[in-house]
Structure 1
Amino acid sequence: MDIFAVRGAIANAAKTVVMPAGTAKLTATGYATDAVTTPHFYVGDYTIDFDKTFKRGQDDIEFTCAVLVSRSDDLSGQKILDGLLSGSGPGSLKTAIERARGAPGQYALGGLADDLHVTRVQSYRFYEVAGTQYLGAELTVYVIGEGGTS
């Protein structure tokens, strides 16, 4: 799998989330950034399990992504964040990202991976980026794909 392309495709899928009325559109990057415009989603750390099948047939990657919202008003920030972290609905990052799985029989992320699944939310807390604190949480996106391509 082309990891950089997969990261970008996950971020593009996240951008399709529907934000509540009166809330800014979600910005997203396939990498950690120093310039955050909230609300913001980014693909950060990842771990790879190589060679899940013979001859580099499949790799499994767990991407740790983060979503950050403004702390200017803690209550409204938590409400926005909770909506983004919900398990379903138009405002759910899980729903938006998993829509990129494609139809049955199609490859995920426009052909970059075999499949993906948002598996977990964790670390609901304050995050600091470039000296500014944000409220945020992490999402784990599990991706499987061909190991022999780069």
Structure 2
Amino acid sequence: MQIAAVRAALADAARTVQLPAGVRKLTATGYTPDSVSEPHFFTGEVSVDFDKAMGRALDELEITCRVLVGRGDDRAAQQLLDALLSGAGPASLKAAIEAARGGPGEPALGGLAHDLRLERVQGYRWYEHAGVQYVGAELIIRVIGDGRS
């Protein structure tokens, strides 16, 4: 798997969420940006488990992503974050990202991987990014794919 391409495809999938009226569209990057335009999703740390099958047939990535929401109004920011972290609904990052799995028997992320799953959310808290405070959380995404490509 090509890690940079997988990260970019995850950001593309995240951008498809539909936020409530009056909220800026979610911005997303497949890398950790210097600064963010909130609300923002980005891919961060990557852990790789190589050789999960013989002949380099399977590698597994664990990608820690973050979503950061502005804090102009603490309650409204946390309500928006809650919507993004929900398991279903138009603003659900889980639903948007897992839609990129493709249909049964199809490869995930447009052919970049075999499969993916948003496994968990953690670290719901205040984050400082480039000197600015945001409310946010981490999303742990597991991606499996061919280690030979």
The CA distance in 2 between the partners of 1:82 and 1:71, in whole Å, is 14
Q: Which residue of 2 aligns with 1:41?
A: 41
Q: Which residue of 1 aligns with 2:21?
A: 21
Q: Which residue of 1 aligns with 2:104?
A: 104
Q: Which residue of 1 aligns with 2:126?
A: 126
Counterpart residue identity of residue 34, structure 2: D
The CA distance in 1 between the partners of 2:35 and 2:18, in whole Å, is 22
Q: Which residue of 2 aligns with 1:83?
A: 83
The alpha carbon displacement at 1:72 in A equals: 1.2
* TM-score scaled by length of structure 1: 0.98
The alpha carbon displacement at 1:90 in A equals: 1.1
Counterpart residue identity of residue 100, structure 2: A
The CA distance in 2 between the partners of 1:12 and 1:116, in whole Å, is 14
Per-residue CA distance 1:81-131 (angstroms, 9 max, x = gap): 000000111110000000000011110000000000000000001111111
Q: Which residue of 2 aligns with 1:116?
A: 116
The CA distance in 1 between the partners of 2:111 and 2:34, in whole Å, is 30
Per-residue CA distance 1:3-23 (angstroms, 9 max, x = gap): 000000000000000101110
The CA distance in 2 between the partners of 1:93 and 1:122, in whole Å, is 14
Query: Residue 56 of structure 2 aligns to a residue in which SS?
Result: coil
Q: What is the total number of aligned residue pairs between the two structures?
A: 149
The CA distance in 2 between the partners of 1:14 and 1:75, in whole Å, is 23
Q: Which residue of 2 aligns with 1:135?
A: 135
Unaligned runs of 5+ in 2: none
The CA distance in 2 between the partners of 1:26 and 1:50, in whole Å, is 33
Query: Residue 76 of structure 1 aligns to a residue in which SS?
Result: helix
